[in-house]
Structure 1
Amino acid sequence: MTGFARTSGAVGDFLWTWELKSVNGRSLDVRCRVPQGFEAMDGIVRQAAAEYLKRGNLSANLTVDDVASRGRLSVNRAALDQILALVGEMQGRVEARPPSLDGLLGLKGVLELETPPVDAETLARRQQAIEAGLKQAMTELGAMRRVEGKRLADVVGGHLDEVERLRVAAVDTAGAQPINIRRRLEEQLRDLMPDGIPVDPERLAQELALVAGRADVREEIDRLAAHVAAARDLIKKGGAVGRKMDFLCQEFNREANTLCSKAADLALTNLGIELKAAIEQLREQIQNIE
């Protein structure tokens, strides 16, 4: 399921921002990007993701801006004095232009960035604020995914209605199978048996019973009805039902395949094919459910 959440805050001059993005996935996969010095947040993000989410690909990105840590530039007087002394010593020995100010300041070690130290109490408050922001972002992400889940529930419900419609149609079509089987068997016997040779009615009844038994699809139709009811119950209960719905789709396919293999006439075969197409559409939507 897809979703996006963004939270930000500040502790004094220290600014932080969380961005969470989730897309569909069969399992829970977390990718976390944090600035240098905040590597410990990776484990905290993964723990929070396992608490709030069950499946999907989650991308978590933390950015920080410590205004105070930008510091200020200062001149290393000792290093600059040494460089100037060397310049004076070399004058007259080497033909060269006098060094420029920007050239001197560009030398390594002349300019230094002074950053004020951060005490432990301030670091703790920053960490607490960042973790609170992560929880808030996870909550907002979950709310957005639930809104999408409600929309998907309507779509999945429509596919289940189509499966049920085809199942009911299969009930009516399957009821005509014994008659069609008997008619086809009698036609085959007339084509194979010489004229004038009678067919033993008892033997014919036995053959019909065997063929009709192999072509009986009532169990598959009943199981399809049970699977539809189970899927609707899962949607009604809510929560993380994606994996269970995946399993039900496998069962739907199994019954549809068996129905097609047992079909003794073209009408039931066509219904079985339509049923498999409807189940595939259902399965595609299930991949988007947590």
Structure 2
Amino acid sequence: MTSSMTAFARVQVQEDWGSLVWEIRSVNHRYLEPHFRLSEQAREIEPGLREVLRRQLSRGKIECNLRLQLAESTQKLTLNEAALEGVQSAVNQVETWFINASGVDPLEILRWPGVMENEETNLAPVHAAALKAFEEAITQLINMRQREGAELKQFVLTRLNSISEEVGTIRGVLPELIEAQRQKILDRLEEAKAELDPERLEQEMIILAQKMDVDEELDRLDTHIQEVKRTLDKKGGIGRRLDFLMQELNREANTLSSKSINAGLTQSAVNLKVLIEQMREQIQNIE
């Protein structure tokens, strides 16, 4: 299924331990390039998050932002009694040296490094919820990418049909154009009353016909059109192959333009290049 690389997803979780919100944005990129903004409490789950992305996506710049808020009941402060005793011992020693040294502010004691400690919080439930919510957000992101991808596919198919119509038009008028060009040359020779060797004239006509012959270019255009349609129905990342096919289509349109023998054929070649460029711009956003 054709997928776009542009999408957004948001998942929120509320539990006894607190709340978390995932916001994920995806834009087009040549490769898969994830960026994470995580709080310190969630740093250790980053490898698991990256693995989820590698399994689900193949291309795109993915910005993943996690906002984590733990409930106050999960963040407890405790006294380190051993450190507190050490500070008290130091204060007692100071008292033997200075008068009135015992007027110590308790808050100053609490600020002493190591006296107050954060009680270790069990983050396992938080990590499990964050991973589950992340997978839900990625599923949401993929669904949005596929919806937009379906629209991009229809856009490309519409342009392909227009190219096929243009190629058909060229095939229909080409024999008349070649014959008209041949007759134009003969008329000029007749007006000039030039006497040329019949064999030499025939050789020149053959060379002229070869220069004007665009059947191969038209055949290759038809082949590339069918290949683009087949690629659009494939699974997985197809954007790079489609981009290559756009280059091939453009190459044939340029050759067709260089072999143009009248304004109508030139205009058809221009129309082809416009349609191909429109497709190419949209294909840059296909995964």
**Residue in structure 2 matched with residue 47 of structure 1 by the alignment:** 51
Q: List aligned pairs for 1:1-290, cutoff 5 A.
A: 1-9=5-13, 12-67=16-71, 68-72=73-77, 78=85, 79=87, 104=108, 108-109=112-113, 112-118=116-122, 123=124, 125-187=125-187, 189=189, 195=193, 197-237=194-234, 239-290=236-287
- Matched AA of 2:24: L
TM-score when normalising by structure 2: 0.81
> What stretches of structure 1 of length at least 5 have no aligned partner?
none
**Structure 1 residues 170 and 17, CA gap change in structure 2 (3 angstroms):** same
Q: Deviations over 1:63-110 (max 9, x none)?
A: 3233244323769755478569859965689xxxx98887x4785449
How many residues in Structure 1 have an aligned counterpart in Structure 2?
278
Higher mean Cα deviation, 215-224 or 154-163?
154-163
Q: Note if contact 2:45-2:127 (Cα within 8 Å) is conserved in structure 1.
A: no
TM-score (norm 1): 0.80
Deviation at 1:24, TM superposition (A): 1.5
Higher relative contact order (CA 8 A, sep 6+): 2
- List runs of 5+ in structure 2 lacking aligned partners: none
CA displacement, residues 26-67 of structure 1 (integer Å, 9 cap, x when unaligned): 222111222225334332222221211121111122332332
Q: CA, structure 1 residues 140+47, in 2 after alignment: closer, same or farther (shift >3 Å)?
A: same
Distance 2:254 2:226 in 1: 20
**CA shift digits 1:108-145 (9 cap, x unpaired):** 44973432453xxx62x443332222221111111111
**Identical aligned residues as a percent:** 29
Deviations 1:141-175 (A, max 9, x none): 11111111112122222222222222222223422
Kindly report the root-mean-square deviation, in angstroms, between the aligned alpha carbons of the 2 structures.
Answer: 3.2
Q: Is the 8 A contact 2:149 2:286 kept in 1?
A: yes
Following superposition, the deviation at residue 268 of structure 1 comes to: 0.9
SS in 1 for 2:58: coil
Conservation of the 8 A alpha-carbon contact between 1:28 and 1:58: yes
Question: How far apart in 2 are the matches of 1:54 and 1:7?
Answer: 22
